[in-house]
């Protein structure tokens, strides 16, 4: 692999689609592939040590990977993301150097390419155009996380489940994508609850006629009703603050 992955056209095509590299010329992608290596992780591979994550930047080519947080004392796990094709991870370590506290577990056999942190940093110095998309990505991520914190504080579990389902519903295909077929405990980890409670609400949605569930497959039956579930949280008196106008 002296030439890295340059010979594999499919990798090049995949990078071309990646929002991170959209602005970059083909030559930059080629030099990136020259310093890349590929790897296949079978289902259930767990990346718990910081060795991988401290020294390598990963881009997902195919498969499905769970990015999660876990603390030994509190026996609870929270899933931050389900990573699929064109996602990447470890960008915070790449930019700041210290280890992240995120873990990874492969949900379905995945192919990845990785670049060593040092190589990636050198490459970034030579391809400063990458900064724009990175900043964009970070801003988006920040805003998503802020919303997530707020949701956890202000919405009950069934509303958070409703939101999760809606966010992953594709109107065109009329299907729930990405999270469909995942186990109850993974869905629970995505909205910050336990398997039992999640299942309780799923059964509830099924009983009302919002969803149909069979064999791990969730099918949308009544989307408007699901939206209703999301909105009728509480119709309380509105925000009443005095607004002192701009003084300057």
Q: Provide the binding-site residues for its own copies, judged by CB under 8 A.
A: 37, 39-42, 44-46, 48-49, 52, 69-76, 78, 80, 92, 95-96, 100-102, 105, 131, 134-136, 138-143, 145-150, 152-155, 192, 231, 233-239, 241-244, 246-248
Q: Which residue has the tokens 């791990």?
A: 216
Contact by Cβ (8 Å): 111, 59: no
Q: Which of 54, 200, 223, 230 binds DNA (CB under 7 A)?
A: 200
Residue ranges in 54-83 that form contacts with DNA under rule CB under 7 A: none
146 binds, among its own copies, DNA, none (CB under 5 to 8 A by kind): its own copies
Spatial distance between the Cα atoms of 200 and 108, rounded to a whole number of angstroms? 26
Provide, rounded to whole angstroms, the least separation between the CB of residue 174 and its own copies: 28
In the bound state with its own copies, the residue whose beta carbon lies nearer, of 39 and 222, is 39
Please calculate the CA angle 134-139-141 and round it to the nearest 5 degrees: 95
In the bound state with DNA, the residue whose beta carbon lies nearer, of 124 and 155, is 155
Spatial distance between the Cα atoms of 241 and 233, rounded to a whole number of angstroms? 22
41 binds, among its own copies, DNA, none (CB under 5 to 8 A by kind): its own copies
In the bound state with its own copies, the residue whose beta carbon lies nearer, of 73 and 173, is 73
Q: Which of 104, 33, 37 is nearest to 65 (CA)?
A: 104
DSSP assignment of 50-65:
HHHHHHEEEEEEEEEE
Radius of gyration of the chain (CA): 21
Q: Which of 202, 238, 235 is nearest to 221 (CA)?
A: 202
Provide, rounded to whole angstroms, the least separation between the CB of residue 72 and its own copies: 5
In the bound state with its own copies, the residue whose beta carbon lies nearer, of 48 and 213, is 48
239 binds, among its own copies, DNA, none (CB under 5 to 8 A by kind): its own copies
Task: From 50-58, 113-121, 140-148, 186-194, give the range in contact with DNA by CB under 7 A.
Answer: 186-194
Beta bridge partners of 41: 110
Q: Which of 183, 188, 190, 206 is nearest to 198 (CA)?
A: 188
Q: Does 190 bind DNA (CB under 7 A)?
A: no
Element (H, E) at 227: helix 223-231
Q: Does 148 bind DNA (CB under 7 A)?
A: no
């Amino acid at each position: 692999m002296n030439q890295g992955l340059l010979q594999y056209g499919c990798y090049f095509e995949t990078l071309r689609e990646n929002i991170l590299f959209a602005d970059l010329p083909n030559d930059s992608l080629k030099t990136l592939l020259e310093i890349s290596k590929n790897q296949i992780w079978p289902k259930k591979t767990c990346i718990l040590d910081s060795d991988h994550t401290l020294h390598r930047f990963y881009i997902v080519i195919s498969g499905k990977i769970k990015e999660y947080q876990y603390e030994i004392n509190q026996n609870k796990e929270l899933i931050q993301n389900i990573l699929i094709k064109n996602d990447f991870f470890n960008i915070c370590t790449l930019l700041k150097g210290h280890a992240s506290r995120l873990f990874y577990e492969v949900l379905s056999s995945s192919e990845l390419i990785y670049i060593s942190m040092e190589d990636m940093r050198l490459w970034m110095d030579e391809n400063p155009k990458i900064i724009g998309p990175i900043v964009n990505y970070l801003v988006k991520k920040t805003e998503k996380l802020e919303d997530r914190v707020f949701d956890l504080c202000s919405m009950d579990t069934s509303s958070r489940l409703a939101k999760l389902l809606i966010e992953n519903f594709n109107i065109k295909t009329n299907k729930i994508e990405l999270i469909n077929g995942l186990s109850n405990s993974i869905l629970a980890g995505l909205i910050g609850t336990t398997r039992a409670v999640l299942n309780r609400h799923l059964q509830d949605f099924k009983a009302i006629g919002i969803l149909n569930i069979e064999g791990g497959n969730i099918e949308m039956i009544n989307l408007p009703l699901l939206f209703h579930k999301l909105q009728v949280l509480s119709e309380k008196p509105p925000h009443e603050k005095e607004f002192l106008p701009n003084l300057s």
